[in-house]
Amino acid sequence: MRTAFITGATSGFGEAAARAFVKAGWRVVGTGRRADRLEQLAAELGEAFHGAVFDVRDEAARDAALDALPEGFGEIDLLVNNAGLALGTEPAQAASLTNWKTMIDTNVTALASITHRMLPSLIARRGAIINISSVAASYPYTGGNVYGGTKAFVRQFSLNLRSDLAGTGVRVTSIEPGMAETEFTLIRTGSQQASDTLYSGAGPMTGGDIAETLLWVAELPPHLNINTIELMPVNQSFAGFAVHRE
Ligand code: NDP
Ligand code: 8X3
C-alpha cells in the first residue's frame, strides 16, 4: 500500500484528492490548520486516512507532526504540495504588503521547506512530488502580482528539481490549473458573493477534476514523468494584450 502526504486537505483540491487516493487504495496523510475538518475526513475515510494538524509555515509544528505519524503512515511515497492561497485582487500599487508576505511564506517558503525536509526519504523510496502551481505562473493578469509570482516559483522549482533528481528515480510534476470552484476565491476576497459571482455560469473545474488528474499522474508507471500539466475549464481561455493610450 502506497502513502501520499497531501498538504491542504481541509478543503478544495486537497480534500478531493484525499478522498480519491483513499478510494484508489492509498494511505493518505492529509494536513491543514482546521482540525475539525480533518476529524470529519478521518471519520469518513477510516483507517487509511491520518489527519495532521499544523500550519505549513511553522517548521517546528510540521516536524512534530511528521515525527508523530502513526505506524504505517511514516513511509511517504508521494508528496503533494497543495496548501496555498491567494490574498487580494488589487493591483500591486494598492495591495497589502502583509498579504504579499503571507502568500510568499505559504506558497513559496513553506513549500520549499517541506520539500527539503522530505527529499531524503522520497529519494530512498524512489517516490514522487506533485506541486500545485497555477495558470497564474504563465499568464499575468491585473491583481495577480505576487500570487502569480509565487506560482511561477512553484513551476520553475519543480522543473529544476527534475534536473537535480535525475538518476534518483524520483518523479516531479507541476500541475497548473485555471479556474476551479473551491474556497480559493472566498479566501482571496473574503466574500462568498464575490466567489459565487466569479464561478456563476463559467462551468469551473472542481476539486474532483484536479484530484483525478493527481491520481492519474501518481499511478503512471515509474519510468514515466509528467513534467507539467496546464488545465482549464472549456469556458476559460485567453485575453489579448492590454494597451493604455495617453
Ligand atoms: P482552498 O482554499 O479550498 O484550499 C486551500 C487549502 O490550503 C486548505 O486546505 C487550507 O487549509 C490549506 N492552507 C492554506 N494556508 C495554509 C497554511 N498556512 N497552513 C496549512 N494549510 C494551509 O483552495 P484550493 O483547493 O483551490 O487551493 C489548493 C491549491 O491550488 C493552492 O495552492 C492554490 O493556489 C492552487 N490553485 C487553485 C486554483 C483554483 O482556481 N481554485 C487554480 C490553480 C491553483 P487550512 O485553511 O485548514 O489550513
Ligand atoms: C488560481 C487560478 O486564474 O485565479 O491559481 O489565478 S487564477
205 lines ligand 2 (CB under 6 A): no
Ligand 2 pocket member 154 (CB < 6 A): no
- Region at 205 (left for phi over 0; alpha for psi -120 to 50; beta for the rest): beta
Give pLDDT tens digits for 94-124: 999 999 999 999 999 999 999 999 999 999 9
pLDDT at residue 211, as a whole number: 99
Where the chain has pLDDT below 50, the residues are none
Ligand nearest to the CA of residue 236, numbered in listed order: 2
What is the structure's pLDDT at 102? Answer: 99
15/28 Cα distance (integer angstroms): 11
Domains and CATH numbers, the chain: 3-180+207-231 (3.40.50.720)
Cα(129) to centroid(ligand 2), Å = 21
Task: Establish whether residue 218 lines the binding site of ligand 1, counting it when its CB lies within 6 angstroms of any ligand atom.
Answer: no
Instruction: Please name the helix (run of DSSP H) or strand (run of DSSP E) that holds residue 50, with its range, or none.
Output: strand 49-53
pLDDT given at position 234: 98
Tell me how far apart the alpha carbons of residues 44 and 161 are, in angstroms, rounded to a whole number. Answer: 35
Q: Using an 8 Å Cβ cutoff, are 90 and 143 in contact?
A: yes
Asked if 199 is an active-site residue, the reply is no
Identify the pLDDT of residue 86. Answer: 99
Atom of ligand 2 nearest to the CA of 179: 2
Which pLDDT belongs to residue 198?
A: 98
Q: How far is CA 118 from the centre of its chain?
A: 16
- In order of 34, 57, 120, 206, the CA distances from 4 in angstroms are 19, 20, 16, 21
Which residues are bridge partners to 32 per DSSP? 53
pLDDT at position 145, please?
98
Helix 59-67 and helix 111-124, axial crossing angle in degrees, nearest 10: 30
Q: How far is the CA of 98 from the centre of ligand 1 (A)?
A: 18
